[in-house]
């Protein structure tokens, strides 16, 4: 029985995620660089939703010493691993909830991140999750999301999946496991096109919507609340 929505058990996630997501470390590097350049001050508060085992927060803490972090995830096993990493952090808060369920009425955030979290959601829950992120941001706050995406054409989809499968094998995943992950596409996680991402972010009210990063079957987006 799975203890989270990814293809890896929580205890194996840190050691295996880069076999599945070939550019995973770039997601976090691009996010941290963006926050440094987009905000005029160090973030006071940062919500990482779909935080998993806390890999992004671990890196963000090193870059932003005075920021308070809230980590949210629907997987108790993932949150337990994150808690164990940050036992020395007295200011961290942990919320056992998915983004579409989140409500932090007493706090607004300067930064909200959702890294490989919302592609598990259907259309209605994805919209609710995105609306929640918009609502929980301070004015001028920035939202960053990285997800698997859907190419615009069927041929592009097949080419992209083939390349992704080959990259997983190149990174050390065995062929059967790589095929199993590819088989989850559209069944256990539900990517949308780049245009659909931009339309959703615009529709919920963000004043600035941009593509941050793209390679193969993954892309990053950021949006600023005006």
Residue 90's pLDDT band (cuts 50, 70, 90): confident
Q: Is the pLDDT of residue 1 over 80?
A: no
Does 105 score more than 90 pLDDT? no
CATH superfamily of this structure's domain 10-224: Vaccinia Virus protein VP39 (3.40.50.150)
Using alpha carbons, select from 224, 181, 179 the residue that is nearest to residue 205.
224
Q: Are 9 and 85 in contact (CB under 8 A)?
A: no
pLDDT of residue 2: 78
DSSP state of 120: G
Closest CA to 116 of 209, 199, 23: 23
**Contact status, residue 223 vs residue 216, Cβ threshold 8 Å:** no
| Secondary structure letter of residue 182 according to DSSP | H
Name the more confident of 51 and 87. Answer: 51
Q: Where does the pLDDT of residue 8 fall: very low under 50, low under 70, confident under 90, or very high at 90 and above? A: confident
Element (H, E) at 51: none
CB 171 within 8 A of CB 18: yes
At 159 the pLDDT is 98
CA atoms of 47 and 57, how far apart (whole Å): 9
Span 79-99, average pLDDT = 92
Is the confidence at residue 93, as pLDDT, over 90? yes
Residue 168 and residue 181 in contact, taking contact as beta carbons nearer than 8 Å: yes
Q: What percent of the chain has pLDDT over 90?
A: 89
pLDDT at 99 over 90: yes
Quick: pLDDT tens for 147-163: 999 999 999 999 999 99
Task: Please answer whether residues 67 and 42 qualify as being in contact, where contact means their C-beta atoms are separated by less than 8 angstroms.
Answer: yes
The band of 48, judged by pLDDT with boundaries at 50, 70 and 90, is: very high
Q: What pLDDT sits at residue 110?
A: 98
Pairing of strands 137-148, 218-224: antiparallel
187-217, pLDDT tens digit by residue?
A: 999 999 999 999 999 999 999 999 999 999 9
Pairing mode, strands 45-49 and 93-95: unpaired
What residues does 95 pair with on adjacent strands? 72
Predicted pLDDT of residue 201:
98
- 226 is written with which tokens? 């005006």
pTM of the model: 0.96
User: Once rounded to an integer, what is the mean pLDDT over residues 47-56?
Assistant: 97
Q: What percent of the chain has pLDDT over 70?
A: 99
How many CB atoms within 10 Å of residue 186? 11
Measured in whole angstroms, the distance separating CA 20 from the mean position of its chain's CA atoms is 14
- 147 sits in which H/E element: strand 137-148
On average, the pLDDT of the chain sits at 95
Between helix 194-203 and helix 123-136 the angle, nearest 10°, is 50
- Asked whether 79 and 73 are in contact (CB, 8 A), the reply is yes
């Amino acid at each position: 029985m799975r203890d989270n929505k990814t293809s890896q058990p929580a205890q194996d996630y840190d050691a295996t995620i880069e076999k599945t997501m070939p550019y995973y470390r770039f997601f976090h590097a691009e996010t941290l660089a963006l926050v440094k350049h987009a905000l005029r001050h160090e973030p006071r508060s940062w919500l990482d939703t779909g935080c998993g085992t806390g890999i992004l927060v671990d890196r963000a803490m090193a870059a932003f010493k005075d920021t308070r972090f809230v980590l949210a995830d629907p997987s108790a096993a993932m949150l337990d691993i994150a808690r164990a990493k940050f036992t020395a952090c007295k200011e961290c808060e942990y919320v056992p909830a998915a983004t579409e369920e989140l409500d932090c009425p007493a706090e607004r955030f300067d930064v909200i991140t959702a890294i490989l979290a919302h592609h598990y959601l259907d259309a209605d829950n994805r919209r609710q999750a995105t609306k929640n992120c918009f609502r929980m941001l301070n004015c001028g706050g920035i939202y960053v999301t990285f997800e698997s995406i859907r190419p615009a054409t069927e041929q592009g989809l097949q080419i992209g999946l083939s390349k992704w499968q080959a990259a997983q094998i190149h990174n050390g995943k065995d062929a059967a496991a790589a095929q199993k992950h590819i088989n989850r596409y559209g069944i256990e996680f539900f990517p949308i096109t780049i245009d659909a991402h931009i339309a959703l972010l615009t529709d919920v009210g963000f004043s600035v919507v941009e593509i941050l990063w793209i390679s193969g079957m993954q892309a990053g987006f950021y949006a600023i609340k005006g």
